[in-house]
Amino acid sequence: MKETLFKIKSMRKISLNIGLLIMGLVVLFSCTEYQIPEEVLIDGDRANVVDNAVTVKGPNSIEIQYALSTTEEVDYIECTSDLGTHNISVNSTTKRYEFLDPALEYTFYLSTVYTNGVKSEAIMLSSTAGEFVPNVVTNLEAVVIDNKHIEIKYTLSDREGVDYIECKSDLGTTNISNDQTGILYQDIELSGLYNFKLTTVYLNGDRSDYRSINARVEVPIVKQILPVLHYNFENSLINDGTVGIAGNLSVASGGTATYISHGSGSAYEGTINPANHLTSTWGGITGNSERTITAWVKISNNTSIVRPIVGFGSRPKGTEANGKRYNLVISKTNQLTISIQGVGSTFTDPLIPGVWTFVAVTHDGTDYLSGSVLYVGNSNSLVGERGTDETIVINTVNNSNPENTLIGGQWKGGDLFHGTFINDGGIDDVRVYDFALTEQQLLEVMQSTAGQ
């Protein structure tokens, strides 16, 4: 009897041990199934900056959303799952997985990877995908127009129960009514590859997966219209152009800077005795390179001498070669003239004394005077006249004298000749560009400065 009882107790203990062993194996295998992969556990001492991570179900999709407590020294966020390993930029806080089976559960491990290669412990998220919701968008295409517009076009396989089509891209999110079959994005300013995701949204709030399409635009680079020299003469001789202080003006020795009113501001007043023409140390534009000179002038009716406006370059003293300088002047007959060492081109109609007038000259980079165009305008209109001489060579020389670019003066045979400047008148908003402005660009400069 005792022996039988002992055997029964022994069998119970063996059974209990076997049961505990089986339970332990079950727990072990259960834990092993959801353990964080060993290769993810690199350095538990470095913090995982992923906070508030959640999964959001979508139709046949799961989106992981989270916040980052910091991005300092963080290279990227690594997301490891049966779907593969994906590196997520620190500039993003979401990762979406599409075309998933709603019957399966997916497990994701998120780790922080630092710039030194160290990886933090991971956090685990599990979720199933939402049920399938059909996307009625079909025949999706993207058409690029003039490299600045993108038209998204599609057809709808069914409109029943559809509220709208959501189109999401870097250009924003737009809800398109179900009676439309596309959207036009106009005047895109930046070149690049644009991705568009179109989702069907139903009246009951259900959302489908999205259809995706890309389109690339290459927006032409527009050259900024910035002058190398710009003087607004608001009681100042400072250069606001791109060459900076090298273009700052100085008054000729013995002269005094004087200003007069012009519109809502001031303009520079030229005087002959003492001469107060202006100079800068900037060397000017040389050779036959493109250029533009603009200014507002008000002249007096002094027809006894040529009146220089803006000029640079010089003919070396004792030589007779033309083309070494390039000066915009008012002739003795009050006509706007481009003077190239004694020869040049003159605008037909004279300027009206006592009236503020916009004047300009451009040169297109060709060898001869025929590449230069003189312009005269008022606040409303601008008229241009091209030089016709194809024998006068443009070869502006950089004067070695410190007094290079001149306003109200010009170099003549190696001597500085200031003329009568704009005596009893004024000059305002002088600009020099190192390229030839178009007539439309000149019109914009004129209209933007009229009356100032």
Provide DSSP, 53-80. EEEEEEBTEEEEEEEES--TTEEEEEEE
Q: What are residue 441's DSSP bridge partners?
A: none
> Once rounded to an integer, what is the mean pLDDT over residues 117-122?
94
Residue 395: give the domain boundaries. Answer: 229-449
> Does pLDDT of 18 surpass 70?
no
Q: What is the pLDDT of residue 411?
A: 67
Please indicate, yes or no, whether residues 206 and 333 belong to a single structural domain of this protein: no
Q: What is the pLDDT of residue 389?
A: 82
pLDDT-derived band at 223, boundaries 50, 70, 90:
low
Number of neighbouring beta carbons within 10 Å of residue 219: 14
Range in 149-163, 300-314, 412-426 with the lowest mean pLDDT:
412-426
Q: What is the pLDDT of residue 277?
A: 84
Range in 122-131, 145-154, 186-195, 337-346 with the lowest mean pLDDT:
337-346
> Once rounded to an integer, what is the mean pLDDT over residues 202-228?
88
Please indicate, yes or no, whether residues 57 and 88 belong to a single structural domain of this protein: yes
Q: What is the CATH number of the domain that holds 340?
A: 2.60.120.200
Burial of 338 (0-12, 13-18, 19+ CB in 10 A): buried
Cα gap 53→110, rounded to integer Å? 9
Can you list the positions of beta strands (E) in 69-220?
74-81, 84-88, 94-97, 105-114, 123-128, 137-145, 149-156, 162-169, 172-177, 182-185, 192-202, 207-217
- Decide which of 155 and 332 is more confident: 155
Q: Which two tokens stand for residue 321?
A: 């070669």
Please indicate, yes or no, whether residues 213 and 180 belong to a single structural domain of this protein: yes
> Once rounded to an integer, what is the mean pLDDT over residues 415-431?
69
Please indicate, yes or no, whether residues 96 and 185 belong to a single structural domain of this protein: no
Q: What is the pLDDT of residue 421?
A: 54
- To 5 degrees, how large is the angle CA 116–CA 117–CA 122? 125
Cα gap 344→368, rounded to integer Å? 11
Please indicate, yes or no, whether residues 323 and 246 belong to a single structural domain of this protein: yes
Please indicate, yes or no, whether residues 81 and 149 belong to a single structural domain of this protein: no
pLDDT-derived band at 28, boundaries 50, 70, 90:
very low
pLDDT-derived band at 414, boundaries 50, 70, 90:
low
Assign 3-class secondary structure to 323-384: CCEEEEEECCCCCEEEEECCEEEECCCCCCCCCCEEEEEEECCCCEHHHEEEEEECCCCEEE
Q: Are 399 and 313 in contact (CB under 8 A)?
A: yes
Q: What is the pLDDT of residue 33?
A: 39
Residue 20 lies in a domain: no
Please indicate, yes or no, whether residues 122 and 144 belong to a single structural domain of this protein: no
Cα gap 227→436, rounded to integer Å? 11
CA nearest to 379, candidates 446, 444, 287: 446
| Whether this model's pTM surpasses 0.75 | no
Burial of 26 (0-12, 13-18, 19+ CB in 10 A): exposed
> Does pLDDT of 114 surpass 80?
yes
Q: What is the pLDDT of residue 11?
A: 44
Residue that is last in its domain, among 159, 184, 217: 217
Our separate counts of H helices and E strands in the chain read 2, 31
pLDDT-derived band at 319, boundaries 50, 70, 90:
low
Place of tokens 């706007």: 336
Residue 24 lies in a domain: no
- Mean pLDDT, the chain, integer: 84
- Decide which of 36 and 69 is more confident: 69
> Once rounded to an integer, what is the mean pLDDT over residues 210-233?
89
Instruction: Summarize pLDDT for 69-95 with one digit per residue, the tens.
Output: 999 999 999 999 999 999 999 999 999
Residue 98 lies in a domain: yes
DSSP 283: -
Residue 273 lies in a domain: yes
> Once rounded to an integer, what is the mean pLDDT over residues 379-407?
81
- Decide which of 180 and 339 is more confident: 180
Place of tokens 């007038």: 357
Cα gap 194→434, rounded to integer Å? 36
Q: What is the pLDDT of residue 92?
A: 93
Please indicate, yes or no, whether residues 272 and 196 belong to a single structural domain of this protein: no
Instruction: Summarize pLDDT for 253-298 with one digit per residue, the tens.
Output: 767 888 998 888 999 988 777 778 888 888 888 889 999 999 999 9
Residue 35 lies in a domain: no
Query: Looking at the 3D structure of the chain, how many domains does it have?
Result: 3
> Does pLDDT of 441 surpass 90?
yes
Burial of 215 (0-12, 13-18, 19+ CB in 10 A): buried
Residue 11 lies in a domain: no
Q: What are residue 385's DSSP bridge partners?
A: 374
Residue that is last in its domain, among 102, 128, 154: 128
Residue 16 lies in a domain: no
Range in 10-24, 329-343, 362-376, 438-452 with the lowest mean pLDDT:
10-24
| Percent of the chain clearing pLDDT 90 (strictly above) | 55
Q: Which two tokens stand for residue 75?
A: 């290279």
Please indicate, yes or no, whether residues 234 and 324 belong to a single structural domain of this protein: yes
Q: What is the CATH number of the domain that holds 175?
A: 2.60.40.10
Please indicate, yes or no, whether residues 339 and 234 belong to a single structural domain of this protein: yes
> Does pLDDT of 451 surpass 70?
no
Instruction: Summarize pLDDT for 134-168 with one digit per residue, the tens.
Output: 999 999 999 999 999 999 999 999 999 999 999 99
Residue 14 lies in a domain: no
Place of tokens 């194809």: 390
pLDDT-derived band at 12, boundaries 50, 70, 90:
very low
Alpha-carbon separation of residue 197 from 181, 263, 291, 360 (angstroms): 14, 54, 48, 51
> Does pLDDT of 410 surpass 90?
no
Residue that is last in its domain, among 217, 252, 280: 217
- Decide which of 402 and 406 is more confident: 406
Instruction: Summarize pLDDT for 176-209 with one digit per residue, the tens.
Output: 999 999 999 999 989 999 999 999 999 998 889 8
Instruction: Summarize pLDDT for 226-258 with one digit per residue, the tens.
Output: 999 999 999 999 999 999 998 999 987 767 888
First-to-last C-alpha distance (Å) of the chain: 123
Please indicate, yes or no, whether residues 201 and 252 belong to a single structural domain of this protein: no
Q: What is the pLDDT of residue 404?
A: 72
Please indicate, yes or no, whether residues 191 and 254 belong to a single structural domain of this protein: no
